[in-house]
Amino acid sequence: METLIFLVGGIFLGFLLRKKNRLREGVEKSITVMIWVLLLFLGIAIGANQQVVDNIHIIGGKAIVLTLGGVLGSIACSYVVYLKYFKR
C-alpha cells in the first residue's frame, strides 16, 4: 500500500512540476545514480549468497536460454507485425 501511495504522490508531483526543466534534469540524474546503487547492492547480495555462487553455472545457463528465447521471440513477433502492417 505504501508503494502505491508513493507512486501516486510521485505522479502528482511530476504533473505539477512538469514544466520545470532544471528540476527534471536533476531528477533524471538522481534516478541514474540510484539505479547504479541498487545494482551495486544487488551484486553484493548475490556475491554474499553462497548458494547462488555455488550454482552460478546453472543459473547462467538458464539465463542464456531465457535471453535467447526472449530475443528470438521478439524478432519473430516484430517480423509478423512488419509483414501484417508495414509491408505493402
Map residue 78 onto helix, strand or coil. Answer: helix
Whether 59 and 29 map to the same domain: the answer is no
63 shares its domain with 23: no
Count: domains in the chain = 2
Cell numbers 512488419 label which residue? Answer: 82
The predicted structure's pLDDT at residue 27: 85
Give CA angle at 36 (52, 14), nearest 5°: 125
Q: How confident is the model at residue 5 (pLDDT cuts 50, 70, 90)?
A: very high
Type of residue at 39: L
Q: How far is CA 67 from CA 2, 4, 24, 60, 70, in A?
A: 33, 30, 33, 10, 5
Domain holding 60, by residue range, is 55-88
**Assessment of whether the complete model's pTM goes beyond 0.95:** no
Q: Are residues 1 and 39 in the same domain?
A: yes
62 with 76, same domain: the answer is yes
